[in-house]
Every structure is written in C-alpha cells, then in structure tokens.
Amino acid sequence: ALQIVAEAIAAGTEPDAILRDLERHSREVLICCTAQIVPETLVQNAEHAHQLSQQASTVTAAHCVAVIDRIAGGLRAISDGADARVQLEVVAVDGLSGRR
C-alpha cells in the first residue's frame, strides 16, 4: 500500500486528491453493495461496471462505511493542518484493511 502511495505521489498526484478519489470510489462500491446491482448512473464504461460489481461482491456495506469514515477523517485532519501524505498513508495501511 505504501509503495502505491509513493508511486502516485512521485507521478505528481496530490495526496488529498487520492483520498477524495478513494472516497468517491468507496461510495460507488457501497451503493453497488447495498443495491446488489451496478446502477447505470455510476457506470463510466463496461470495465468500470465490471470492477464495481466485482468489488461490491467481496465486501460488506459495513466495511464500505468504515472505509469512507476513515477517509473522511483523513480529509478532516488535512483541513486541520495535518500532513496530507501521512493521512493518505494511514488510510492506505489501516483504513482500507478494515482494521480500526
């Protein structure tokens, strides 16, 4: 997880932008998990629909909510002055694994 973060940052992606993208994607997976379908409003292309369906089938809604909550906490910490990279790394290591 830390290697992926390092590579994304080295490529010029801002840590807070990664967190916002993760939050959006986690919301989409939550919707698919809860609805047990991939709503057309979320579909960007066939591959995206397949990925959402596959990911939603492997997690629970509770896990998605926990991930979104952890990401939101990281974004709040950044807006309060915390280091964005550190917050992204914490989410990547802890928040996405479902550990709390």
Burial 73-96 (b: 16+ CB within 10 A, else e): ebbeebeeeeebbebbbebbeebb
Say if residue 45's pLDDT is above 50. Answer: yes
pLDDT at 100: 39
SS3 11: coil
The answer on pLDDT for 95 being more than 80 is: no
Average pLDDT score over the chain: 92
In tens, the pLDDT along 3-43 reads: 999 999 999 999 999 999 999 999 999 999 999 999 999 98
- List the alpha helices (DSSP H) in the chain: 2-10, 15-35, 46-56, 61-79, 84-93
- For residue 97, give every residue at least 6 positions away whose Cβ sits within 8 Å of its Cβ, in sequence order, or none: none
| 46-62 pLDDT per residue, tens | 999 999 999 999 999 99
The pLDDT score that the predictor gives to residue 44 is: 86
